[in-house]
Chains A and B, each alone.
Chain A
Amino acid sequence: MTAYRALNHADIEVFSESISAFFENMTRRSAQVRTAYLLEAAEPIVWDDFNGLIKVSGGFRGTISFSAPRTLLDEVLKAMGEPSKSTENYLDVVGEIANQLSGRARKHFGESLDISPPLSCKRGGFIVTTVATGPAYVIPLTWGSYQAHLVVHLDLASRR
């Protein structure tokens, strides 16, 4: 039977760096990543207008979600040269951000961090099943005048 451990500070730092890399590379504008804190809520997600979710398996179990207001996603789409501001594009980009932030973490965690294609929804659009048993960390960020949240709720196989 596999034993799991919760994330530590170095693990969380990987996701903070991923946030910075996304905004610098894809929008050419830096994001300010703030100090992570523990989420005290029934679901491992901070709901916002649009939400992207990655399910994690392999040597890990849990979820990674990115949630942002429509106004932030408007600006991201604009910075990426996307002229169409449709619900489909908001759902697409919020899922893609969750995907990129999760995928980049494999440089730290290795290929056993098995990530699903992103699921995207409007606020409250799906039920996020709690698989991990350790604490969920919220990483808040500010980009321009907008705020968004990455929530990392992962258990790591302790044999790593």
Chain B
Amino acid sequence: MTRKKLLVVDDSTIIRNHIARLLGDPRLPNLDIVGLASDGEKALAAARDKRPDLITMDLTMPNMDGEACIEAVAKILPETRILVVSALSDNATALRALTKGAHGFLQKPFTDDSLIAALLELME
């Protein structure tokens, strides 16, 4: 299996680090972190530069929020798969994110197992 590149986007350093540490899990042997971004603007710049295969994307962030970032990334990197990882748990928000170009939605708080399962599903 070819190695995949992951960009982690969240305004919380703790959450970014937590997701990054999960890549040490043996169930994710083919996934490498290529960047960590704390808002949508930085994420968009990192996506242009690193061209990730996968992105985990928070929604509530300063500067550019997650929905705007999903829309922008989907235009420039249509092959990149985006997993929304957000505390916003209503159906309308999830549906809107998926319509704008996200491929999956994982609600915070998440377990390590649920995040790993969601990443594996997007890597298939």
B-binding residues in A (CB < 8 A): 21-22, 24-26, 28, 77, 80-82, 88-89, 92-93, 95-96, 99-107, 109-111, 113, 115-117
Q: Chain B nearest CB: distance from A79 CB in Å? A: 10
Q: How far is the CA of A106 from the CA of B17 in the complex (A)?
A: 26
CB contact under 8 A between A89 and B14, given known A103-B108, A110-B92, A117-B62: yes
Interface SS, A side = helix
Kindly state the interface size class of chain B when it binds its partner.
Answer: 20 to 34
Interface SS, B side = loop
CB contact under 8 A between A117 and B61, given known A25-B110, A89-B14: yes
Q: Chain A nearest CB: distance from B66 CB in Å? A: 11
Q: Are B11 and A22 in contact (CB under 8 A)?
A: no
CB contact under 8 A between A25 and B109, given known A92-B13, A103-B86, A117-B61: yes
Q: How far is the CA of A104 from the CA of B87 in the complex (A)?
A: 6
Q: Are B14 and A106 in contact (CB under 8 A)?
A: no
CB contact under 8 A between A96 and B88, given known A25-B111, A115-B60: no
Q: How far is the CA of A22 from the CA of B89 in the complex (A)?
A: 13
Q: Are B90 and A81 in contact (CB under 8 A)?
A: no
Checking A80, A99, A100, A116 against B18 with a beta-carbon cut-off of 8 angstroms, the contacting residue is A80
Check: B30 CB closer than 8 A to any chain A CB. no
Q: Are A82 and B87 in contact (CB under 8 A)?
A: no
Q: Are A21 and B109 in contact (CB under 8 A)?
A: yes
